[in-house]
Amino acid sequence: MISFQKCFLFVHIPKTAGNSIQSVLRDYSEDEVVALRGEQDGIERFGLRNPKYKIKKHSTLAEYQAALGETEFDKLYRFTCVRNPWDRVISYYFTPTQNTVAWDWKKFRKVIVKVLPVADYLRLDKGERDPFANVNYIMRFENLVDDFRTVCAALNISPTTLPRYNRSKREHYSKYYDDELRELVRARFAAEIERFGYTFEQR
């Protein structure tokens, strides 16, 4: 999502409260809401398209830079939101559009491979050492209320309560993992686990 009115660019990483964030920021953005099934990733179903640039709801930072050009890109306050990857992958598995009602170990292994690491959304150059530095601010799903307030202050937007969308009815994420699955997630998302100090919380 981009806004030239408020000079921001939000990278929506799936399953990190992005629909809630974008629903609040829509009024400031030139992006248009569209009903495209391929973009619908939850009950609050909307896609986003920009009428001028070839960008969409879950575009990567590199795609934004390519579409906008470096001059316009560099003018924007860039931010995103991250989430504990063990929790995020489970949320992806149980997202409403997956039509998942029962736990399937084999299906979940495929989901782990399908979900992109945060670094893939933020990387601008191949082989880049610190893709996380390409944004100005990174919110945490686990501290979203306070972190979104920080973003609103940076953008000179009145802080507002974020709506809660697409909450799945499930147990705590730790209930779905055995040792092998836990290590698969640890290996795939090692960079963000290290960067943000995420740990596997057992309940």
Give pLDDT, residue 41.
Answer: 47
| Mean confidence (pLDDT) of the chain | 88
Q: Evaluate if residue 166 carries a pLDDT over 70.
A: no
Q: Poorest-confidence range of 48-52, 58-62, 125-129?
A: 48-52
User: What ranges do the domains of the chain cover?
Assistant: 2-196
CA distance 167 to 145: 16
Tell me if 97 sits within 8 A of 168, measured CB to CB.
Answer: no
Tell me if 58 sits within 8 A of 50, measured CB to CB.
Answer: no
Give pLDDT, residue 40.
Answer: 46
145-156 pLDDT per residue, tens: 999 999 999 999
51-63 pLDDT per residue, tens: 677 788 899 999 9
Q: Evaluate if residue 33 carries a pLDDT over 80.
A: no
Give pLDDT, residue 109.
Answer: 95
The predicted model scores a pTM of 0.88
